[in-house]
Amino acid sequence: MIKWLISLMMACSQTLTLSACNPDDSPKKTEKIVPELKPESNPVPSPEPTSDNGMFDLSEGENGNPPTLLLSSGYEMPIIGLGTYSLHDDVCMNAILAAVKLGYRKFDTASYYGNEEEVGKAIRTCGVLREELFVCTKLYPNQFADAEKAIEESLCKLNIGYVDLMLLHHPGAHDVEAYKAMERAVKNGKIRSIGVSNYYIKEMTDFLPKVNIKPTLVQNEIHPYYQEKEVVKFMHENGIAIEGWYPLGGRGYTAAMLGNGTIGQIAKAHGKSPAQIILRWDLQNGIVIIPGSSNPDHQRENISLFDFELSSEEMAQIAALDRNEKHDWY
Any domain includes 111: yes
Any domain includes 50: no
The reply to whether 113 belongs to the active site is: yes
Angle between helices 147-158 and 116-125 in degrees, nearest 10: 40
Q: How far is CA 226 from CA 57, 233, 324, in A?
A: 24, 14, 5
Q: How far is CA 125 from CA 105, 119, 159, 160, in A?
A: 14, 10, 12, 11
Burial of 164 (0-12, 13-18, 19+ CB in 10 A): buried
Any domain includes 56: no
Any domain includes 160: yes
Any domain includes 23: no
Which domain covers residue 292, as residue numbers? Answer: 68-319
CATH number, domain of 256, equals 3.20.20.100
Any domain includes 110: yes
Sign of CA dihedral 14, 16, 21, 24: positive
Rounded-to-10 torsion of CA 94, 98, 104, 105 = 50
Q: Which pLDDT tens digits describe the chain residue by residue (330 residues)?
A: 444 433 444 443 444 333 333 333 333 333 333 333 333 333 333 344 456 776 899 999 999 999 999 999 999 999 999 999 999 999 999 999 999 999 999 999 999 999 999 999 999 999 999 999 999 999 999 999 999 999 999 999 999 999 999 999 999 999 999 999 999 999 999 999 999 999 999 999 999 999 999 999 999 999 999 999 999 999 999 999 999 999 999 878 899 999 999 999 999 999 999 999 999 999 999 999 999 999 999 999 999 999 999 999 999 999 999 999 988 776
Bridge partner residues of 288 (DSSP):
243
Any domain includes 118: yes
Q: Are 225 and 249 in contact (CB under 8 A)?
A: yes
Beta strands, E only, the chain = 68-70, 76-78, 82-83, 106-108, 134-139, 163-168, 191-197, 217-221, 241-245, 287-289
Q: Are 64 and 307 in contact (CB under 8 A)?
A: no
Which position among 85, 104, 112, 113 bears the catalytic label?
113
The DSSP result for 26-55, as a single string, is: SPPPPPPPPPPPPPPSSPPPPPPP-SB-SS
Q: Which of 133, 146, 136 is nearest to 113 (CA)?
A: 136
Any domain includes 326: no
The pLDDT value recorded for residue 330 is: 66
Q: How many domains does the chain have?
A: 1
The pLDDT value recorded for residue 51 is: 67
